[in-house]
Amino acid sequence: MTPVTWPLPGEDAGAEMALACDAQRPARLLIVPALFDEGNRLRRFTVEVMRRLGRAGIDTMLPDLPGTNESDLGLEAQNAVRWRDAMQAAARHFAATHVLGIRGGCLFTPGLPAYHYAPVKGAQILRGMLRARMLASREAGLAEEREALTARGRAEGLVLAGYPLGASLFRELEDLEPQIGPSVITQDRIGGSGLWLRAEPDEDAQQADALAALLVEAIRP
């Protein structure tokens, strides 16, 4: 498992980071990570799945979405088109043969044979983050209404759960849905409850085994 860079094209051209388990093997899986808070909670699980796939003969690459993790770019300047283009560019750079989207990452999977693990609509992600913001404000003695927050998010962007979402990403998330076509891997095929539900990041070897096994069966020629 090594940190590598890949070139981001376009107006913000530069180098972005990825974590790769790359032994130049024929089966090469690009993983589009879960978004925001879920991305943190699922990071370790994602890497655990990569380790298992590596042992089973499948290379994996986990790029940062621009504006997240080690990216030089600001999150508030990102939008859905940039993220989709970025994942397309990463897929080309790494010569990926397949792609796995995790939760909100399923909204940005490029056009390759694709698997979607527990895909989620953009609106669901926003709903949870807006609710968290309202709960936190209430704890602090402030009353914020969903309607007013949504209007502000659409007009000028909004900080949700510590993530500064630009107005265009906010508006796009309201309507974005995972594409129809990729094979959907639901949580009941993995067993247990999804680790994105946990209040704190956690890991689960059985779940990582299960997801890796499903992917190996689907991908390996």
Partner 1 sequence: MPDDTDLLLRRILTDVLGLKQGQAETFDAGTGLFGHLPELDSMAVAGLLTELEDRLDIIIEDDEIDGEMLETFGGLLEFAKAKRATA
Binding stretches for partner 1 (CB under 8 A): 37, 124, 127-129, 131-136, 138-139, 145-146, 161, 193-194, 196-200, 202
Please state the closest distance from residue 138 (CB atom) to partner 1, in A. Answer: 7
Residue 175: strand, helix, or coil? helix
Minimum CB distance to partner 1 smaller for 57 or for 192? 192
Specify burial of residue 58 (Cβ count, 10 A radius: 0-12, 13-18, 19+): buried
- Distance in angstroms (rounded) separating the CA atoms of residues 10 and 14: 9
Whichever of 1 and 135 has its CB closer to partner 1, that residue is 135
- Shortest Å distance, C-beta 212 to partner 1: 21
Rounded to a whole number of angstroms, the minimum distance from the CB of residue 49 to partner 1 is 19
Min. distance of Cβ 107 from partner 1 in angstroms?
17
Do the Cβ atoms of 144 and 158 come closer than 8 Å?
A: no
Q: Which is nearer to partner 1, 15 or 135 (CB)?
A: 135
H or E segment and range at residue 220: none
Q: Residue 113 or 128: which CB sits closer to partner 1? A: 128
Listed in sequence order, the DSSP H helices in the chain are 36-55, 80-93, 122-139, 146-156, 167-175, 187-190, 205-219
- Shortest distance, CB of residue 146 to partner 1, whole angstroms? 5
- Cα-flanking dihedrals φ and ψ of residue 63, to 5°? -80, 150
Q: Running DSSP on this structure, what letter comes out for residue 104?
A: G
Nearer Cβ to partner 1 (17/132): 132
